[in-house]
């Protein structure tokens, strides 16, 4: 079961998009002004693509967390795996 629903994916997508904007000085790949999250056009579905990226990241983090939990159980530190 995912710790993150679609609404959370959008929240994380916006966080990632804003971090990208901050890092790039709010310039897009060709040097033009990067729109804010709210200004993103509906077509192409850029928000949807950032949501997909956030969903993939959350999935990887969940897998990492599960692997750490399993490792802690195997080495006898199960009280920390929760």
**pLDDT tens, residue by residue, 25-40:** 999 999 999 999 999 9
Per-residue tokens: 15 = 């966080």
What rounded mean pLDDT belongs to the chain? Answer: 82
The answer, as to whether pTM is greater than 0.75, is no
Query: Does 5 score more than 50 pLDDT?
Result: yes
How far CA 57 is from CA of 3, 8, 9, 37, 54, in Å, comes to 12, 12, 10, 19, 5
Query: Does 78 score more than 60 pLDDT?
Result: no
Let me know how long the chain is: 82
Name the residue ranges covered by the structural domains of the chain: 8-80
Nearest-10 crossing angle of helices 6-23, 46-74: 110
Residue (of 54, 42, 63) closest to 9 by Cα position: 54
């Amino acid at each position: 079961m995912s710790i993150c629903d679609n609404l959370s994916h959008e929240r994380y997508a916006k966080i990632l998009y804003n971090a990208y904007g901050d890092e790039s000085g709010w310039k897009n790949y060709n040097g033009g002004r990067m729109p804010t999250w709210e200004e993103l056009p509906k077509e192409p579905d850029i928000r949807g693509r950032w949501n997909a990226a956030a969903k993939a990241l959350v999935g990887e983090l969940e897998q990492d967390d599960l692997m750490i939990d399993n490792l802690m159980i195997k080495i006898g530190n199960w009280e920390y795996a929760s």
